[in-house]
Amino acid sequence: MSAKIVVAGAGHGGIAAAALLARKGYDVTLVEQHEEAALGYDWRDCIQLYCFEETGLEPPPESELEPLYNLAYFNPRKTVCIPPRRERSSVSMFIERKYLVRHLLRLAGESGVRLRFSCRAESAVMNGTRVVGLKTADGVLPCDLLIDAAGMDSPVRRSLPDSCGIQREISRSDTLYTYRALFEDTGESADMPIYCAYFYHCGNKGFNWVFRDGTYIDVLVGSVGGITPQIVENALSDFRADHPYLGQNLLRGGAYSKIPLRRTLPQFVCDGYAAIGDSAVMIEPLSGSGLTMSIRSAAYLCSAVEAAKTFSRAELWAYEEAYFRRSLHTILHDDALKDVMMQMGEKNMDAMFEKKVITTKELNGGKQTASDMWHKAIGVLTTPSVAPALLRMVRRGRIEPRVIRSLPHEYDAARVAEWQRAYVRY
Ligand SMILES: Cc1cc2nc3c(=O)[nH]c(=O)nc-3n(C[C@H](O)[C@H](O)[C@H](O)COP(=O)(O)OP(=O)(O)OC[C@H]3O[C@@H](n4cnc5c(N)ncnc54)[C@H](O)[C@@H]3O)c2cc1C
């Protein structure tokens, strides 16, 4: 008899894993709290299509994809604009979120996954330290493996006892609170890049943007630790002064939501349980990419499940290992850069842009020259208040290779625990 797998939540990685596992003959049920029509945000987001290649799942058709332009970055007081190195992204595409979820659900349904909508997952069902089922509002679903794809606030992850070793809460300071809306384009002209991104916009710790994409003016207000309607209003009125094409009429979106802004949880599996996507915080802490990372991870999870007999923590280590082996360098690098940008504060950030310490090469990549390094040294030496944040980043840069090297290939409880301590301390 094939093993029973239950997926809690129609998170992107969870749907992808459900489809792959059903194709391998597992008995898979996916439980989602909302109706199918309500799933997915009312806007487009960027995705890197290689995640479909890596999983072997059929990608969305080209007709559903649109080109993505690269960002121009502004410092808080808007005295410096760092333009993109190339106008269009060569790796990422825009896709409607509702379409993407529908596409994945269609693949899952066609692969034999039982899809149960309007059914709320409540908690994991435990037998000692092992997860043996999912408690839903409609009753208990027993299973051999529970895949948690219920997002960053997953009630399933939150219900796990300490003995599972998985962090339950994502703190407010590790969360970007967002408002996203598509407004009418007034048609007015202004000499601004197509996609403009702002750090500490209007004095608020976070990241905002205005995109003029031909149909809508796409606005994101992202604020670390919390957001209020006043923060959104301030950002919109400042944007309207610089981007006169940003109209008053809200056409789509207009929703508040959240993005985890920290490195992936140090452990996201235990006996009978594996988290995927935002429930495990599978994102790059600066650039995001949660969609790509969660869909890509479905392939790692599927391989580990196929090789497993009892879905124990030791067997599921192959999933964690494959995920970290592939993503660790980017996660650590992004996390260090995010921390330095958050800690330095508005005034230091202005100084770093104006003194060419933060340049297109930090934000878009590129080889540093001797002249670049000279500007950076002078910039830092003449801004002593930025030193603590930068020194921490240098220290982290020095230990990064050690954290990557010490990731155990095979499961060994003591070595995995030691690696986790190094990863958490980083
Ligand atoms: C404004 C904004 C812009 C973003 N832009 C991008 C971008 O451009 N590119 C990118 O890659 N990522 C982007 N992200 C991040 C991206 O949305 C996530 O990283 C990605 O969706 C992965 O999360 P997930 O699929 O695991 O979980 P989610 O998308 O949160 O899905 C979780 C699912 O679980 C369901 N669920 C939750 N609780 C329960 C329950 N109790 N019972 C049953 N079901 C439940 C939910 O209804 C939902 O369907 C953006 C996020 C925001 C907020």
**Ligand 1 centroid – CA 278 distance (Å):** 7
| Residue 250 domain-assigned (yes or no) | yes
| Residue 202 domain-assigned (yes or no) | yes
Kind plus residue range of the DSSP H or E element containing 330:
helix 313-354
Cα 17-156-312 angle, rounded to 5 deg: 60
Alpha-carbon separation of residue 90 from 6, 47, 68, 86 (angstroms)? 37, 11, 8, 9
**Ligand 1 centroid – CA 151 distance (Å):** 6
> Which string of b and e fits 380-403 if b means at least 16 CB within 10 Å?
beebeebeebbeebeebeeebeeb
Domain assignment of residue 19, given as a range? 4-66+93-169+264-323
Question: Residues 165, 309: one domain?
Answer: yes
Q: CB of 301 within 8 A of CB of 17?
A: yes
Summarize the confidence of residues 127-150 as an average pLDDT.
97
Question: Residues 223, 247: one domain?
Answer: yes
Confidence of residue 88 (pLDDT cuts 50, 70, 90): confident
What gap in Å lies between CA 161 and CA 180, rounded to an integer?
35
Summarize the confidence of residues 220-225 as an average pLDDT.
96
Question: Residues 160, 179: one domain?
Answer: no
| Residue 384 pLDDT exceeds 80 | yes
| Residue 408 domain-assigned (yes or no) | yes
What is the tens place of the pLDDT at every residue in 260-271? 999 999 999 999
Give the highest mean pLDDT range of 19-23, 84-88, 326-330: 19-23
Summarize the confidence of residues 394-417 as an average pLDDT.
93
Summarize the confidence of residues 128-140 as an average pLDDT.
96
Question: Residues 406, 421: one domain?
Answer: yes
Number of domains, the chain: 3
Give me the pLDDT at residue 306, please. Answer: 97
Helical segments of 124-228, H only = 155-159
Question: Residues 250, 271: one domain?
Answer: no
Residue 367's closest CA among 359, 377, 356? 359
Which of 260, 282, 310 is at the close of a domain?
A: 260
What is the tens place of the pLDDT at every residue in 147-200? 999 999 999 999 999 999 999 999 999 999 999 999 999 999 999 999 999 999
Question: Residues 41, 140: one domain?
Answer: yes
| Residue 81 domain-assigned (yes or no) | no
How is 342-378 classified by DSSP, letter by letter?
HHHHHHHHHHHHHTTSS-HHHHH--PPPHHHHHHHHH
| Residue 87 pLDDT exceeds 80 | no
Ligand 1 atom 15, closest CA: 290
Q: What is the rounded average pLDDT for all residues in the chain?
A: 94
| Residue 86 domain-assigned (yes or no) | no
Which of 272, 306, 323 is at the close of a domain?
A: 323
Written as six digits, the tokens of 92 are 């990422």
More confident residue, 359 or 417: 417
**Ligand 1 centroid – CA 320 distance (Å):** 20
Which of 305, 323, 341 is at the close of a domain?
A: 323
Question: Residues 308, 164: one domain?
Answer: yes
Question: Residues 299, 195: one domain?
Answer: no
Cβ neighbours of residue 303 closer than 8 Å, sequence gap 6 or more: 318, 319, 322
| Residue 348 domain-assigned (yes or no) | yes
Question: Residues 163, 208: one domain?
Answer: no
| Residue 365 pLDDT exceeds 80 | no
Confidence of residue 419 (pLDDT cuts 50, 70, 90): very high
What's 295's domain CATH number? 3.50.50.60
Count of C-beta atoms within a 10 Å radius of residue 139: 9
Length of the chain: 426
Residues above pLDDT 70, as percent of the chain: 100
Query: Looking at residue 23, what DSSP letter applies?
Result: H
| Residue 380 pLDDT exceeds 70 | yes
Q: CB of 170 within 8 A of CB of 277?
A: no
Pocket-testing residue among 42, 152, 219, 259, ligand 1, by greatest number of atoms within 8 A of Cβ = 259
Of ligand 1's atoms, which has the minimum distance to the CA of residue 152?
30
Question: Residues 101, 153: one domain?
Answer: yes
- Please give the single-letter amino acid code of residue 179: Y
Number of H helices, E strands in the chain: 11, 19
What gap in Å lies between CA 202 and CA 290, rounded to an integer?
27
| Residue 84 domain-assigned (yes or no) | no
Give me the pLDDT at residue 1, please. Answer: 58
What's 196's domain CATH number? 3.30.9.10
Confidence of residue 104 (pLDDT cuts 50, 70, 90): very high
Ligand 1 atom 21, closest CA: 291
Residue 334's closest CA among 409, 281, 276, 280? 281
Question: Residues 352, 402: one domain?
Answer: yes
Alpha-carbon separation of residue 405 from 23, 243, 268, 362 (angstroms)? 35, 47, 20, 25
Question: Residues 19, 165: one domain?
Answer: yes
Q: CB of 152 within 8 A of CB of 260?
A: yes
What gap in Å lies between CA 256 and CA 54, rounded to an integer?
32
**Ligand 1 centroid – CA 11 distance (Å):** 6
- The predicted model scores a pTM of 0.95
Give me the pLDDT at residue 265, please. Answer: 98
Pocket-testing residue among 32, 148, 276, ligand 1, by greatest number of atoms within 8 A of Cβ = 32
| Residue 275 domain-assigned (yes or no) | yes
Written as six digits, the tokens of 383 are 């801004």
